[in-house]
Structure 1
Amino acid sequence: MNQPKKPSQIAVWVIFSLIIGSFMASCNTGTIEPESVALGTEYFPLETGRYIDYQVEDIQFTLINSPDTSRYLIRELIADKFVDINGDSAFRLERLRRPNTSVAWELDSVWVAKRSSVRAVVIQNNQPLVKLVFPLENNRRWDGNILNGFAENFYEIQNLGQAFSIDTFNFAKTLKVVQANDSSLVGIDQRNEIYAVDVGLVYKDSVVVTLCTATPECFNQVESGRKSIQKVIGFGKL
């Protein structure tokens, strides 16, 4: 004759049944989203061999001369992975440049890119800039200059998860980072970047100019500054 189960045995059996049940439920409904997706780090992928090609238009302004426009191509290639002086995993970001597709790429500069569960950082010209912060949220703001000695510059996430199209490219999920949106009688500072899932930076624009106020004749004309547009024309992995 079977002996009745003791209360402790019943408790163990109930717990075991709950564990098995939850496991089976997860199998039936699909896998749980990985942490990277929950954070949004897929907007800033880092993997050796990845590259993005850009077309760049750069316009320099002066009050006494006509605008000086230059057009060229940039390739950002994620090269070697290494451990930086802070003990963080980082990637060498090689920036290659050429005037057009008929000319070979030449190394223009080397930046560093790194990403944690908290933020994505690009070190350009020896100055670290916090490009994104995780987890991603619409209207989230942070100081992009918090890791360098420059004045505060607050960035803001907008349009998180929205589609974005440029030329022949259609990206299902992107976000916009507004780095500056200031204008006054003396100047304009407007800078934006757009990131796409599993690609990274696909578009950026910048207008940073000083306006003339010295005389009525030059009022509201651009005295000096720069306007640039950088847009993706290709990406992949070598």
Structure 2
Amino acid sequence: MRKKLKAIAIAISLLFPVFITNSCKKDEPFDMHYDYFPLSEGRYVVYSVHEVFVDQQIQQKDTFDYYIKTLIGDTVMDNSGRIAKKFERYYGSTANGPWTFHDLWTAIIDGGRAELVEENNRTIKLVFAPSEDDEWDMNAYNTLGQMDCYYSNIHSSYTVNGTTFPTTVTVEQEDFSSFIDSRRKYEVYAKDVGMIHKYFRDFIIINGNPNNVKKGHLIDMQLVSYGQQ
């Protein structure tokens, strides 16, 4: 009888740590990965920008190379009446400035969404926590056309301008090709940095040739530096 009771006691002692471990796991906070969209005041990112406009009808092909600096400012009311952060944008001809103030957007994390009000258009940049099952309309809160987004390369490394970021997510916005269209749009976000790469191509092409552009717009925006000021 004693041997039987001893065996039961040993079995209970072996199971008890499992119960403790499971209980601890339940109490651990779930990481929503909000740090893909950092909003600490003074946080800045500098980007190199390559922009192209094409319109064969008026024989136009304009190419621009410049720099953009984004800076998180103090709190402000956004266009939906919420307390958000100022998202200041500056333009410059070099990566070190001098910088000329260009415009003021606002940024907020609300309801599991990272939102940026760009030129009065409220857009959903990210949803949390990032998952392969996520799909959302970036333009759900504005009058622009529907833009269904989803994640790829979740928590993967990504290299831009020679700098490798160990933990990033890619927001896929559009990838479409046809005999007359060539559209590719995505944004990459790194932890504790924010957006590190934006690629936007919207071309009308001729005879299915992506190099023969009838009309369109291209933006390639890549991180150069970042930090706290």
User: TM-score, normalised to structure 2's length?
Assistant: 0.82
Residue in 1 that maps onto 2:82: 88
Which residue pairs with 1:57 in the alignment? Answer: 50
Please tell me the residue identity of whatever aligns with 2:219: S
Following the alignment from structure 1 to structure 2, what is the Cα–Cα distance between the partners of residues 71 and 39?
Answer: 36
Determine which of 210, 220, 227 is the counterpart of 1:229. 220
Q: Return the letter of the residue paired with 2:187.
A: E
Q: Indicate the residue corresponding to 1:130 in structure 2.
A: 124
1:158 to 152, 165, 168: 152
Q: Say which of 36, 44, 50 aligns to 2:37.
A: 44
Deviations 1:100-137 (A, max 9, x none): 24651001111111112410111111101100111210
The answer to whether the Cα contact below 8 Å between 2:152 and 2:172 also exists between their aligned partners in 1 is yes
Q: For the Cα contact (< 8 Å) 1:46–1:78, is it kept in 2?
A: yes
Match of 1:211 among 190, 205, 227: 205
User: Residue 223 and residue 170 in structure 1: after superposition, are their counterparts in 2 closer, same or farther (change >3 A)?
Assistant: same
The aligned amino acid for 2:69 is R
Q: What is the distance in 1 between the residues matched to 2:201 and 2:212?
A: 14
Matched residue SS, 2:144: coil
How many residues are aligned here?
209
Partner of 1:192: 186
Higher strand share: 2
Amino acid in the other structure paired with 1:164 = Y
- Counterpart residue number, 1:7: none
| Aligned 1:15-54 pairs, distance under 5 A | 32-33=28-29, 35=30, 38-54=31-47
Confirm or deny: 8 A CA contact 1:39 1:117 kept in the other structure. no
In the alignment, structure 1 residue 98 sits paired with structure 2 residue 92: yes
Structure 2: tracts of 5 or more residues without a match: 1-15
Instruction: State the AA in 2 paired with 1:222.
Output: V
Q: 2:153, 2:168 within 8 Å by CA — same for their partners in 1?
A: yes
Q: Which runs of no fewer than 5 residues in structure 1 stay unpaired?
A: 1-17
- What is the aligned-residue RMSD (CA, Å)? 2.7
Residue 87 of structure 1 and its aligned partner are, at CA, apart by 4.6
Structure 1: distance between partners of 2:114 and 2:222: 20
Q: Partners of 1:109 and 1:179 in 2: how far apart?
A: 24
Q: Quick one: structure 1 residues 48 and 60, their matched pair in 2 at CA, closer, same or farther if it must change by over 3 Å? A: same
Equivalent position of 2:13 in the other structure: none
Residues 220/107 of structure 1: CA separation in 2 closer, same or farther (3 Å cut) = closer
Identical residues among aligned pairs (%):
25
Question: Contact conserved, 1:139 with 1:158, CA < 8 A, in 2?
Answer: no
| Secondary structure in 2 matching 1:42 | helix
Q: TM-score, normalised on structure 1?
A: 0.79
